[in-house]
Every structure is written in C-alpha cells, then in structure tokens.
Amino acid sequence: MKILIVDDQELVLLSLKKCLTDLGYEVMTSNSVNDAKEKYDSYMPNLVIADINMPEYSGEVVLNNHEYSINASSGLDVVHYIKVEKNHDIPVMILSGNNNEDVIEKGFALGATDYMKKPLSLNEIGIRVKRLIGASNISYPVNKSKFIQNKVIGVVIPCYNEEKRLLSEEFKKFVNSNLSYHLCFVNDGSKDNTLDVLYDLKKQNEGRISVYNCEQNGGKAEAVRLGMLHLAKQQQFDYIGFLDADLSTNFEDFDSLVDTIKDSNFKIVSGSRITRMGADIEKESARAIISKTINFIIRKTLGMDFKDTQCGAKIMTKDVVEDTFQTKFLTKWLFDVEIFMRMRKKYGLETARTLLCEKPLDRWVHMDGSKLSFKDSFKILGQIGQIALHYK
C-alpha cells in the first residue's frame, strides 16, 4: 500500500514517513504543491496525506456553485487536483495547525476524506491510515507518547569539549524527546572527540540533527550567533531558540517557552531562573549579592525590568534572528543583553518592552563548571559599560 505525504516542513515529513514505514507502508514525500502533483501522477498512491497550510499557491476554485479561495492554504490545491481535476476517488487526509473552520470546510468541500489537527499523535495517524486503506503486511507498535506539534522549532546548542555530556543517557533521552524539534549542535572548536560524537548523533537522527562546525573556539556568543543564522536560512522553522549543552534547562521547560511565544505577539521569550535564586542566596551569599548587583545594573542599562537576562534558554521569531544576529556581539558572556539592546535600538524602548517576555522556569540547576568565577563577575561590570556606550 502506497502513501504520498505532502508538507513543507521536513521534520513533519521525516516523522510521518518513519511512522508509516515502520507500519509496513510504502511512503513517498513531497514538500511543495507542484512537486506533489508530479509525484502523484507517477506514483499513483493509495492514500494522500497533505498539509493545507503551505504558503505557495494563490487562486480561486469553484465547486458546486461555490467559490473557494485557496490563496492561504495551498495544500487545498493538492486536494483540488486529485478530486476535481483528476476526479479520482482515492482517500485524502488533510492536516492542519489552523483553527479556521472555513479552511477545514473547504477541504471537505473539495473532497477530502479525513482531517487531523496538529499536534498529531503518531498512534492515531496509524489507526486512521489503517481505517482508510487497510492494514499493511506487518504489525509494528507505535509509541503512543510521541506527537508532531503544530510548530516546528529549531534549537541551537553550542558545544565546547562536551563529549562526556553528549554520551550520557540523559542527553540521549533529551535528543529523542520531541519530534518537532531540530537540534543544531555548534561544535565550537572542541579539542576532544565532541565533533565525532555529534556526527554520530546526526547519523542516528538524520534530518532532526545538524552540525555546524567551527574550526576554532570563538566563545559561546559567536557559536550561538552562527548557529542561529544557519537555522534562519531554512524555511521550515516557525521559531528558533538556543539552549546550553549542560541541560540546565530541560525540554519540558523549553516547551513552555515555545507555548508562550506561539500564542502571543512576543518576539522573544526568555527563560528565567528567578525561582531558584532564593536557594542560591542561602548557599552562596557573596556570589548572590554580586549577581543581584550585576542584574540591577543590567536592568538600568536596558531600561527593562528583566530579573534574569543570562539564562541560556531563549526562543524567538525568525525575523529577530535575521535582524539582530548579523554582526558579532561585543562581549563573551553578555550577548543576551546585547540581543535585548539591539531589539531596543530597532523598535524603540516602549515597543521593545511589549515584544520581550521573561518566563520563570520550573526546573533549573547549576551544572559542574557552569558558574562564573568571582574574577569573571567583575569583568562583566566592565562589559556592561561597554554595551551601554556602544548601543547608546
């Protein structure tokens, strides 16, 4: 039994293809309307699964004396091609992250057989496909806990001599925890076997992991900047963010940052460790006092009431990456502050305040080697002054 899957996001195609191939179906994929039409004619599938939110086609169709606009949902053109132009009766399942009932109604009016709303349960996909075209020759258990979300997220993870962390069971679980995340590991000139480990991870998770290799160590700020620009060139991502390789922030918390930005007008949602600061004060009062002093100066410099600018977990829209990551950052540790300063410079202070959101994390832990020394803390004070003068 042959299935054609049409979606403009590579991660969705890869996840659906693996799921249905494991169930024994023969699967072909397409990432555009015109390519889908050509493959449909040559492949003649038993089922077509098409996303109806691919921004490629513009036009009007008339069906049963009703005019339907498909300029915002080009996947409907695939349905129109199969059901109206070809007049074929093969089943077509439409997928959408769109809550607009008019769009869904258009799909059924054109002849769609079934509809699934993202996020997609892989288990439910398998059940519906079996109902539409019958069981395959083999039976394969689908992981019921795996979902394809309605947004595809690119995540940059800077790595410098992280071989041991990357080989841990915790990290392997982290890599496989969400099908809608593409992880871009930036090897920041590592001197151990980090690069070999990264390429092995990529081989095991083809399409879901990429590696950007910096031959020389340029620091976290430059590694993140290059990785973010690398992902911004790809059309499939709705949002792009970054995390630290030490996993001080886990995927559950990062998911909450994504949930916040996708249902809002924010351009950046930044994680905050503020809920942990009380415990840190009791354990290391001197360090906590210095941290609070630095944070106070940063708030005054920014003109924004951010409690924690330095948390290594942020998610943002692609246009922010394209607008604020083009030039190198001035500082090694305070590039997060520079991102906010560049936002302020572009939009003005009042507008920037409405576009930036700070969200407390439920879980955050200091990992070995992740704390700055007292000497580094004092260097930061000079860097804040450098930032204030440069972005004035």
Contact 156, 189 (CB under 8 A): no
The DSSP annotation for 344-366 comes to HHHH-HHHHHHHEEEEE-S---P
Per-residue pLDDT tens over the stretch 8-42: 888 889 889 988 998 999 999 999 899 999 999 99
Per-residue pLDDT tens over the stretch 268-280: 999 988 755 444 4
CA atoms within a 13 Å half-sphere pointing along the CA-CB vector of 127: 8
Q: Looking at the DSSP assignment, which residues form a beta bridge with residue 271?
A: 359
Is the pLDDT at 372 greater than 60, yes or no?
no
- Residue 67 has a pLDDT of 52
Buried b (16+ CB within 10 A) or exposed e, 265-275: ebbbbbbbbbe
Please tell me the CATH code under which domain 2-133 is placed: 3.40.50.2300
**Tokens representing residue 375 in the block:** 């000497």
Per-residue pLDDT tens over the stretch 296-334: 899 999 999 888 888 889 999 999 999 999 999 998 789
Q: Looking at the DSSP assignment, which residues form a beta bridge with residue 28?
A: 4
**Tokens representing residue 341 in the block:** 């300063």
Average pLDDT, the chain: 84
> Which of 127, 57, 73, 148 is CA-nearest to residue 105?
73
Give, in order, the Cα–Cα distances in Å from 192 to each of 92, 220, 335. 50, 17, 26
Contact 51, 75 (CB under 8 A): yes
- Res. 71 pLDDT band, cuts 50 70 90: very low
Greatest pairwise CA separation for the chain in angstroms: 76
**Tokens representing residue 9 in the block:** 């996001």
The sign one gets for the Cα dihedral 54, 60, 62, 66 is positive
Please tell me the CATH code under which domain 151-247 is placed: 3.90.550.10
* Distance of alpha carbon 204 from alpha carbon 201, whole angstroms: 5
Phi, psi for 308 (deg, rounded to 5): -150, 95
Q: Are strands 313-317 and 239-243 parallel, antiparallel or unpaired?
A: antiparallel
Per-residue pLDDT tens over the stretch 157-208: 999 999 988 888 877 777 776 667 899 999 999 999 999 999 998 888 877 8
Question: What residues does each domain of the chain span?
Answer: 2-133, 151-247, 264-392
Q: What percent of the chain has pLDDT over 90?
A: 50
The DSSP annotation for 296-322 comes to HHHHHHHTS--S-TT-SEEEEEHHHHH
- Res. 265 pLDDT band, cuts 50 70 90: very high
